Amino acid sequence: MESLTSWLLASPTPSLRYLTYRRLLGYAESHSDVQTTREQMRTTGPIPLILSKQTPAGHWVSDARMYGTKYIGTHWSMIVLTELAADPSDDHLRRGLEFMLAATEHNHMLEGQFDKTVPSPEVFGFTCLWGNLLRYAAYCGLADDPRVTRIGEYVARNLTAGQCKCHINDYLPCAWGAARALWGLAALPQRSASVQRAIDHAVGFLLSSEHDLPAGRYPSRGGVHALWGKLSFPTFYQADVLFVLRVLGELNALAHPGAHRALAWLDAQRQPDGRWRGNNPFQSRTWRISGDRQDIHRWVSLHAALVMQQAEQQQAALSSVNSAINQ
């Protein structure tokens, strides 16, 4: 672990070093190394670059294509900034979020195919869009905003009554939609009973032995997607085995029996030097997030190491509970 963390902390990208300190090593926000790195995130690397391209109105690229212009439009930029641990109180992020909430609240700028998916009890679909929006809205501290609450309720209904079905996947239950929905719900500071039921339902779907997480045998009009078995960062509306495990880690679900094969698969991807090799499938279409050629491997290695660390902790906690029950 020491050689891995030394390599991660050698990254020229401040966000990567910050997340290594905070999440992998567990340093407090007040730690001097964390504070130094947080300040560097404001002045160097991908975060200030992305923020510099935002318009005063709060959008990126075009005010008419909040979802289009993959993957540098407003929706996608907010996802990247969240993954990079940008300051959630920064006015740029708040303006970006307000632009997205305004664009979706009254069904304008939804670009045709989304016209019927504004959150309501009558419709289902595009859970990946709403799960992602919920994620960065909660990240920015607006989980209690009525507009965001409505999105959360919509996402929860999609996971239970709607099964994350979407016409893009021929109205089949969608693993990508379920993973992105869970990513949004996992960020909520408080979970209602209906949200928890939706989480339990989606975790059961993703970890079903029938579907087999590492094999990716989920309902799909085109079979298993080529990205599913790769270790990629960042992903946008897509998901792969690593992303699903990341979300399950946040939900304290890695001790679930259905996660064991996926964790073994991830561990088997580790190189002899203790690192993982990564992939940035959209690097030519999105913001540059890496400071050197090694950084994509660092990003994936950081998230894979976090998953393995969480899995060990969650399994130990479960074993402790079972031991106490059996005494």
Structural domains in the chain?
2-11+46-321 (1.50.10), 12-44 (no CATH)
Please identify which residue in the block is written with the tokens 């997030």.
289
Does 315 score more than 80 pLDDT?
yes
Do 307 and 245 contact (CB within 8 A), yes or no?
yes
C-alpha to C-alpha distance for 263 and 248, rounded to whole angstroms: 11
Report the greatest alpha carbon distance in the chain: 63
How many angstroms separate the CA atoms of 173 and 226, rounded?
Answer: 18
Question: For 137-175, how does the pLDDT look when each residue is reduced to its tens digit (9 = 90+)?
Answer: 999 999 999 999 999 999 999 999 888 888 888 889 999
| Matching residue, tokens 């259905």 | 258
- What local confidence, expressed as pLDDT, does residue 112 receive? 47
Determine the Cα–Cα distance for residues 175 and 159; give it in Å rounded to an integer.
10
Give the count of beta carbons closer than 10 Å to the beta carbon of residue 97. Answer: 24
Matching residue, tokens 């990254």? 11
Taking alpha carbons only, the member of 207, 80, 103 closest to residue 151 is 103
**Average pLDDT of span 38-59:** 97
| 260 within 8 A of 214, measured Cβ to Cβ | no
Q: Residue 27, Cα to own-chain centre: how many angstroms?
A: 22
pLDDT tier at 323 (50, 70, 90 boundaries)? confident
Predicted confidence (pLDDT) at residue 322 exceeds the cutoff of 90: no
Is the bond leading into 139 cis (omega within 30 degrees of zero)? no
Looking at the predicted structure, is the pLDDT value of residue 106 above 70?
A: no
Residue range 208-242, pLDDT digits in tens: 999 999 999 999 988 999 999 999 999 999 999 99
Chain mean pLDDT for the chain: 92
Reported as a single tens digit per residue, the pLDDT across 17-42 is 999 999 999 999 999 999 999 999 99
pLDDT (tens digit per residue) in 274-309: 999 999 999 999 999 999 999 999 999 999 999 999
Residue 7 has pLDDT above 90, yes or no: yes
DSSP state letter for 89 = T
**What's the pLDDT score for residue 109?**
41
3-class DSSP state for residue 87?
A: coil
pLDDT band at 107 (very low <50, low <70, confident <90, very high): low
pLDDT band (50, 70, 90) for residue 117:
low
pLDDT for 320: 81
Please state at what angle helix 175-186 crosses helix 241-250, rounded to 10 degrees.
Answer: 30
Distances (CA, A) of 189 to 86, 186, 193: 19, 8, 13
Q: What is the value of pTM for the model shown? A: 0.94
